[in-house]
Amino acid sequence: MRSLGPAILTLFAPAVASAGSPGWITTCPYSHSAPNDPIKFPGQPGASHLHDFFGNRKVNAGSSYSSMLAGATTCGTKADTAGYWAPALYRKGVKINPAGSFHGRNTREKFYYRDTRYAASVKVEPFPPNFKMIQGYSMATSVADANAHGAGWGKRTWWGCSDNSVSGKPTMPANCKSGIITLHVTFPSCWDGVMVPGDEVAAGHVKFPDNGQCPTGFKHALPMLIDRLEYPVGTSSSGITLASGPPYTAHVDFWNAWQQPALSSLTTRCLNGDVNCGTDP
C-alpha cells in the first residue's frame, strides 16, 4: 500500500527515495553540456545558460519529439530516451561535470519513478508523449524567493552527500566526506490535462498531491519523478555556483521522450502493481 503523509506545495518528498519503494530507478549518466534549453528556448542555440544533459544524447536547441525518440540514450533502461537536464555546476569558477569519481567512488545519476505520495486507490497514468516540465526557479534572488515560486528548498529540493551522511535537507551544498555532493529535486505529479509549450510547471498545469490525492481540476496522477544528481567537488563545498547563479537557483528539466509502450508497461506493472521493479528494468 502506498504510504500517506503531508503533501502540499512545499512539503513533499521523503529525505531519500527508498530503493525498496514501488516503482523503478533509471540510471542516466552525464551525456554532454551546451548553452541550450529546448523547452524554454526552442530553436535558439546559445540562448540559455550552460546545461548538463542526461539520458537522451541528441538533446539540443533544435530537438523535436521525433528526433528525441530516435536518439540514443545513456540510461541503463534503454527504453528511456527521455531528456533530463540541469544548470552546469562550478566550484570557484571551475566547471564540475556530474561524472567521474572522487577517491575511487563513482558518481551516480539516478532518476526515481515513484508513487509514494498517492493513496492506494489512486491509479497512476504514464507521462503523456512529448510531455515537458521544469521544476525550480532559475531567477531566484534568495532561498525564500525560490520557495515563493514553488522551488521547495528544504522540503522537496535539497543538497546532500553521496553517502547520505548529511542530516536534514540543506538549502546550500554541504561539505561531504565522500567528496561528492548531491542535488535532489522532486517534480509535481498531478496534471490538469492541458498540453502547452514550454514550462508547464510555471504555467500552473502541474501541481503536487495533497493528502494522497490530486487537487480538484488536476485529475491525472502521473509518476512522481525525483532527480538525484551527483558532483565530485571534493570535501569542501565552498564556492559552489551554478550557471544560473547561486545554488538556490537550481532547477531541472524533463522532456518525456520515453519509448511510450515501455513507460506505460512500467507504470502499470510497477506503480499500479505496487511492485519494486528495481534499477534499470
Q: What is the pLDDT of residues 178-205, one digit of tens each?
A: 999 999 999 999 999 998 776 666 678 9
d(CA 137, CA 40): 13
pLDDT tens for 103-155 read 888 999 999 999 999 999 999 999 999 999 999 999 999 999 999 999 999 99
**Number of C-beta neighbours around residue 148 at 10 A:** 12
pLDDT at 199: 64
Write out the H or E segment, with its range, that includes residue 263.
helix 260-266
For the chain, domain boundaries = 23-279
In sequence order, what are the beta bridge partners of 279? 25
Specify the 3-state DSSP secondary structure of 132.
strand
pTM for the full model?
0.91
User: Which position has the higher pLDDT, 236 or 201?
Assistant: 236
User: What's residue 72's pLDDT?
Assistant: 97
